[in-house]
Structure formats: structure tokens, C-alpha cells
Amino acid sequence: MNLLGIDFEEWFHPELIQKYITIENHEFSVVNGIDKILELLRTHDTYATFFMVGELLDVKPELMDKILNGGHEIAFHTMYHNRLDAMKNKQEFVDELKKFAQLTSNKSKGFRAPSFSLNYSSAWTIDVLVENGHQYDSSIIPAKTKLYGMPNAELKPYKITSKDFEKNSPNGKLIEFPLLTRKFFNFSVPVAG
């Protein structure tokens, strides 16, 4: 895993703009910028984990080779950037995870929930990730916003289970890499995401 994580998703994926989108079929454009991103990382001798929305690999499968050949990593960010707590059922997530594994030849070992939607109602995803060989998650922000956050979560990497994901769990098999926060007037605020 790399300490720099890039959510590789389209402009229409983020939850905040979903309600304003009226067109259902979108052109994929972020995929056209991959060479510039990779060149910038290469120039600065920096490696990143690309938390990839799977439908981008479906549209442009050569993205995987470009990213991996640059020494970077690909991690699962769901197939369509749907919030975990908005999925119809567990099987939908399992199906997406298997499709992503197929697209990446099982090279993904990490996960980030869209809109940081890992919470108590979607904690079952931790068990699914472990069952499918994933080694880490990076979905928790140790701060509270309107959309997401767990203000009591640990600030440094720790092991999680589906029953205990805010504090280190000795039974945890999945490592949580929480996103960066900073104190601002005695409040923790996210500086990522």
C-alpha cells in the first residue's frame, strides 16, 4: 500500500452532485488524464494507490497496466461508486467485488468505500473483504461531517472487524488506514476526501 491514495472516479460519481445530474449516459473523461497523472507521479518519484471505480476499467481496461507498470497499486472503490449503505443487499457488493477481481486479475488488496460510507449499517462489508483476500481498508475518517466520519476512530493504522472498526481489534484481519485529519479550533477536520 502507498500512503498517497487517489480516488479515481468520474465527475458524476460523487454523491454531492448526484441530485443535480439529469443525463443518465455520461462520457468518461477522467480516463483521458491518466498519462498526465502518472507522469506527475513519476517526475516526483512518488507512488500511489488508485482507488478505482470498476466501470472505468470496464470502459478502458488498459488503465490497469498503465497504473501497475508505473509501480502503483489498484484498489477497489466499487463498480459504480454507490454508497455501501445504499446497496440493495450484500450480494450486490459481493458481485461487484468479484467483477472487479476479474477486471484486475485479483490484483486488488485494498478498498475504499464511496463517500466514506463504511458505517454500522454497512459493517458487513469488512467480512466480505476479508473472505475475498483483501488486506486493508481506507474508508474511515476520524472526524464527523454531515456526510461521513467516525470521530472516535483511531488516527493511525489499526486492525478492524465488522463488530469493532473504530478501535484496534486484536481479532482484526483487515488493517484500517484512516484518512488524515487535523485539529482546527479544537475540532478534528478532514484534510482528505
pLDDT classification of 29: cutoffs 50, 70, 90: low
The conformation of residue 133, written as its DSSP 8-state character, comes to: T
pLDDT classification of 99: cutoffs 50, 70, 90: very high
Residues near 174 by beta carbon (within 8 Å), at least 6 away in sequence: 126, 129, 130, 134, 135, 136, 137, 159, 160, 161
Taken in order 18, 19, 20, 21, the sign of the CA dihedral is: positive
Mean pLDDT of 145-163: 89
Distances (CA, A) of 10 to 5, 81, 129: 16, 9, 24
State the average pLDDT for the chain. 87
pLDDT of residue 28: 65
pLDDT of residue 154: 93
Grouping H, G, I as helix, E, B as strand and the rest as coil, residue 173 is coil
Could you confirm whether domain 4-190 is CATH 3.40.50.2000?
no
Going through 56-185 in order, the beta strands assigned E by DSSP cover: 73-76, 110-111, 136-137, 158-160, 174-176, 181-184
Residues facing residue 49 across a β-bridge: 5, 73
User: Which one-letter amino acid corresponds to residue 9?
Assistant: E
pTM greater than 0.85 (yes/no): yes
Q: Are 160 and 144 in contact (CB under 8 A)?
A: no
Q: Are 122 and 113 in contact (CB under 8 A)?
A: yes
pLDDT of residue 48: 95
pLDDT in tens, 107-117: 999 999 998 88
Mean pLDDT of 161-186: 90
Secondary structure tally for the chain: helices H, strands E: 6, 9
pLDDT of residue 70: 94
pLDDT classification of 41: cutoffs 50, 70, 90: very high
